[in-house]
């Protein structure tokens, strides 16, 4: 009895599978006869199996060709989807934000300020060390800027003296470096005389204490912290109408104890307002006793809204937001900072903020810094630092014209009269080189509309199908299939009930 039941169940299951398969074949024939896809109807209407197999082979080949070509279009869409176009080469320069100009005195340690410091500060000397050791160590203070580890003994002695007197590297630099007001004689902004302490601010940078024009004083400029927007400066001046003019005192070679340069002069850096001077800045040496004119050539980059909607991996740039300003150089600086901390367990002496577990690098870290610094300059920004270029921003190149400062004899005016009172002084003028600049925009070459159009053309070429064909396929193999299966199930139920009724009536 049980064997008969099992056989009956097995036969019933086989019957149901056959019904489903037959229903699928019937739905496929209906789909093939009514579909808009070219050639598919012949797989159902052909009289012989050979003809049906031939048309099925043709359809499969066409489908493979369409899929391969569609993949090629998609890869081209992904790889070469953006371009940078020149929107205008007549973009007004007065619409460009004025960059920050940083002046760093060549002397890192001034002899005059060193003598003043030794008179003012009574230093406690550790056992076996003297003022001479302090002075010898200060002579090699350049190592904190450019670490080479050439004078380990002298710097170790200096660090012992600093530790004994609770003096940091930054504090010692502040005491021994030339002050902005000690260097700057006169400043002019937009053609008007201005107090230099209103135009410039002194900041600790990677080159020591420098004087910054148009600096953003509110932000720490670290990528991990919020950098807020502040008001930018703009200028109508260009050519011989200078944005900024600075008159600097004569360079005194005898005042040099330690320096960031090998010759007399000033290090000048031009960079974005929301960044600090560093490797990404435009820099040059301002020759002493020269009058130098710096022409700014600007190029502003914008990004289309379509590009900004893409993922960062696709657009290959990172935008700023209302809450935070992104700059590539800040990201790079943060990456270098983290790498130095991982290797040397300290952060740059000029870092303005520290985490609770961090310390500033001092002279005992010079050996480690000398090893790690070359590696930090060879970082691959995208793969190692996850740093991307700015989506929007202004880039500058500069043109420099300089000659011996003899114009005081030919040009009247308060600026040049002041220069006459200080022979061998140095002058710097900064202005826009031209009245116009370049405006560029990063935009999509192929939008999704182009991609859909290309895919539509490919599938139409090889299969003759359209967007409606997708709905045809869904309609037949979902709605019609379910409907036919339900219909057969209902008929089978009626037949079974009828047989049972007849059997009961017979019994």
What are 250-263's pLDDT values in tens digits?
A: 888 888 999 998 87
**Strand (E) or helix (H) holding 450:** helix 448-463
The mean predicted confidence, pLDDT, of the chain is: 84
Residue 338 has pLDDT above 70, yes or no: yes
Burial of 415 (0-12, 13-18, 19+ CB in 10 A): buried
Residue owning tokens 């435009």: 282
DSSP state of 141: G
Sorted by where each begins, the domain ranges of the chain are 26-79+449-506, 84-444
Give CA–CA dist 292/270, Å, rounded: 14
Mean pLDDT of 353-365: 88
- Would you state the pLDDT for residue 488? 66
Q: Which residues contact 174 (CB under 8 A, 6 or more apart)?
A: 204, 209
E-strand spans in 343-465? 393-404, 426-432, 436-444
Residue 52 has pLDDT above 90, yes or no: no
Do 337 and 221 contact (CB within 8 A), yes or no? Answer: no
Mean pLDDT of 337-365: 89
Higher pLDDT, 479 or 7: 479
- Would you state the pLDDT for residue 219? 46
Domain 84-444: give its CATH superfamily: Acid-sensing ion channels like domains (2.60.470.10)
Q: What are phi and psi of 4, to 5 degrees?
A: -65, -40
Do 296 and 99 contact (CB within 8 A), yes or no? Answer: yes
- Would you state the pLDDT for residue 506? 59
Taking only the tens place, the pLDDT of each residue in 266-318 is 999 999 999 989 888 999 999 888 999 999 999 999 999 888 888 887 788 89
358: nearest Cα among 384, 332, 340, 336: 340
- Nearest 5°: CA angle at 45, between 39 and 49? 95
Mean pLDDT of 334-345: 91
C-alpha distances (whole Å) from 305 to each of 253, 315, 347 are 55, 11, 38
pTM for the model stands at 0.76
Taking only the tens place, the pLDDT of each residue in 409-464 is 776 788 888 988 888 899 999 999 999 999 999 988 766 677 777 777 777 777 77
- Would you state the pLDDT for residue 65? 86
Residue 7 has pLDDT above 70, yes or no: no
């Amino acid at each position: 009895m049980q064997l008969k039941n099992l056989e009956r169940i097995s036969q019933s299951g086989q019957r149901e599978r056959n019904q489903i398969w037959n229903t699928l074949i019937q739905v496929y024939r209906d789909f093939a006869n009514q579909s808009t896809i070219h050639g598919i109807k012949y797989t159902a209407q052909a009289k012989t199996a050979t003809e049906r197999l031939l048309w099925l082979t043709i359809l499969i080949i066409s489908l493979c060709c369409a899929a391969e070509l569609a993949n090629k279009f998609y890869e081209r869409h992904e790889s070469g989807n953006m371009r940078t176009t020149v929107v205008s080469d007549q973009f007004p320069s007065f619409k460009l934000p004025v960059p920050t100009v940083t002046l760093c005195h060549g002397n890192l340690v001034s002899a005059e300020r060193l003598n003043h410091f030794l008179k003012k500060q009574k230093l406690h000397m550790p056992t076996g060390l003297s003022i001479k050791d302090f002075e010898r160590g200060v002579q090699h203070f350049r190592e904190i800027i450019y670490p080479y580890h050439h004078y380990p003994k002298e710097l170790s002695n200096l660090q012992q003296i600093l530790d004994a007197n609770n003096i940091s590297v930054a504090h010692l630099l502040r005491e021994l470096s030339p002050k902005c007001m000690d260097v700057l004689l006169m400043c002019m902004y937009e053609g008007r005389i201005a107090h230099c302490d209103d135009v410039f601010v002194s900041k600790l940078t990677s080159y020591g204490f420098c004087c910054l024009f148009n600096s953003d004083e509110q932000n720490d400029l670290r990528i991990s912290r919020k950098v807020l927007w502040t008001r930018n400066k703009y200028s109508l001046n260009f050519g011989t109408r200078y944005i900024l003019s600075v008159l600097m005192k004569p360079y005194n070679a005898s005042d040099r104890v330690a320096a960031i340069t090998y010759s007399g002069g000033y290090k000048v850096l031009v960079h974005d307002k929301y960044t600090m001077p560093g490797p990404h800045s435009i820099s040059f040496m301002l020759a002493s006793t020269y009058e130098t004119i710096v022409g700014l050539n600007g190029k502003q980059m914008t990004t289309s809204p379509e590009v900004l909607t893409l993922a960062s991996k696709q657009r290959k740039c990172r935008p700023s937001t209302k809450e935070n300003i992104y700059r590539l150089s800040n990201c790079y600086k943060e990456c270098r900072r983290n790498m130095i901390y991982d290797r040397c367990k300290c952060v740059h002496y000029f870092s303005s903020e520290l985490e609770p577990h961090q310390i500033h690098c001092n002279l005992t870290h010079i050996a480690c810094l000398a090893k790690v610094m070359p590696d930090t300059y060879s970082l691959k920004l995208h793969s190692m630092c996850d740093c991307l270029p700015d989506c929007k921003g202004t880039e500058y190149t500069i043109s420099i014209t300089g000659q011996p400062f003899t114009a005081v004899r030919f040009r009247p005016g308060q600026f040049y009269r002041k220069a006459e009172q200080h022979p061998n002084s140095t002058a710097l003028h900064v202005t826009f080189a031209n009245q116009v600049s370049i405006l560029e925009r990063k935009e999509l070459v192929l939008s999704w509309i182009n991609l859909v159009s290309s895919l539509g053309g490919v599938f139409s070429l090889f299969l003759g199908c359209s967007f409606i064909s997708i709905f045809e396929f869904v309609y037949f193999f979902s709605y019609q299939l379910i409907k036919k299966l339900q219909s057969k199930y209902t008929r089978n139920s009626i037949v079974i009930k009828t047989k049972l009724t007849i059997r009961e009536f017979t019994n």
